[in-house]
Structure 1
């Protein structure tokens, strides 16, 4: 069975876990170095949305930065959403900060406006009816 780790330091890790579980994919939350070492046989890793600065700091504080970076650079498939994308980017526009820097992309934070501009609404979706929609002000890959 496929086993996907989800970085669970901060942010939207629970939402990723719910979707993967609904697809019958085994998940494990990575919260500290012991979790990482116990589940080193992962088939992939998700870096969720949240606050990239906080997540980057916690990666270092919890001694997860180097082992995760090394495994990604070796062979671990990784998926980053929002803050996770920023953690993976080699370049952050207007910022000298480097996190994992393992994906050859340049990202701009808050490319669609500030986080306070995010909103939730209901709208009609053709053929389905009214559904809830969440619009976040996330980064963009330049």
Structure 2
């Protein structure tokens, strides 16, 4: 079986780290800025960055609607940090004109953990993994509510945010509040690549 092609939203955000991780896992990893590049993709990652800037640039580059349609049609998609916000059906503390692509029946709170100075890291239990995942949170959202079809993959298990949901999956769409592309642990990306491979 040929390697899947996985695109990374490349108009804004931490694109390079995702491309590096995907390449190391044997996929064909491409930066995506145009609809023609999106058309080549079997799966897609929306990285961390600034969600309001992301949707505005996606509109400007005429990528927003094609991407939304591909997600609706079942393209495996993975969002990290701002990418989680982009994939959420509902956003709390967003801007008045905030738009999302949707795909996850969740409500997220934008910048839930505080500003950049409140960024932190810690170890999380993650569904299907025997060992903890080291998670890095940077101006991260958290999930306030999940719909009935959403699987919770990880929650904060200590401190003032104990119990907050920080990783979810619903069918072909998954998201984390944190940045798994940072730190060298590729297990979450590997899980996503497996999801893409089963769909392609």
- Under a length normalisation based on structure 1, what TM-score does the superposition of the two structures give? 0.81
Structure 1 partner of 2:125: none
Shift of 1:62: 0.4
> 1:111·1:140 contact (CA, 8 Å) conserved in 2?
yes
Shift of 1:134: 4.8
- 3-state DSSP class of the match of 2:55? helix
State which structure, 1 or 2, has the greater radius of gyration over its C-alpha atoms. 1
- 3-state DSSP class of the match of 1:66? helix
Aligned residues: 127
Partners of 1:134 and 1:107 lie apart in 2 by 18
Partners of 1:31 and 1:134 lie apart in 2 by 26
Shift of 1:137: 2.8
- Under a length normalisation based on structure 2, what TM-score does the superposition of the two structures give? 0.59
Structure 2, gaps ≥5 residues long: 122-134, 145-200
Shift of 1:27: 0.5
Structure 1 partner of 2:46: 47
Q: Compare 16-25 and 94-103 and name the one that shifted more.
A: 94-103
Partners of 2:44 and 2:88 lie apart in 1 by 15
List 4+ stretches of structure 1 deviating above 3 A. Answer: none
Deviations 1:77-98 (A, max 9, x none): 1000011110111111133523
Asked if 1:12 is matched to 2:8, the reply is no
Q: Compare 88-97 and 77-86 and name the one that shifted more.
A: 88-97
Shift of 1:119: 6.0
Structure 2 partner of 1:108: 109
When the two chains are superposed, the root-mean-square deviation of aligned CA atoms in Å is 1.8
Partners of 1:5 and 1:135 lie apart in 2 by 23
Partners of 1:27 and 1:110 lie apart in 2 by 29
Partners of 1:85 and 1:68 lie apart in 2 by 15
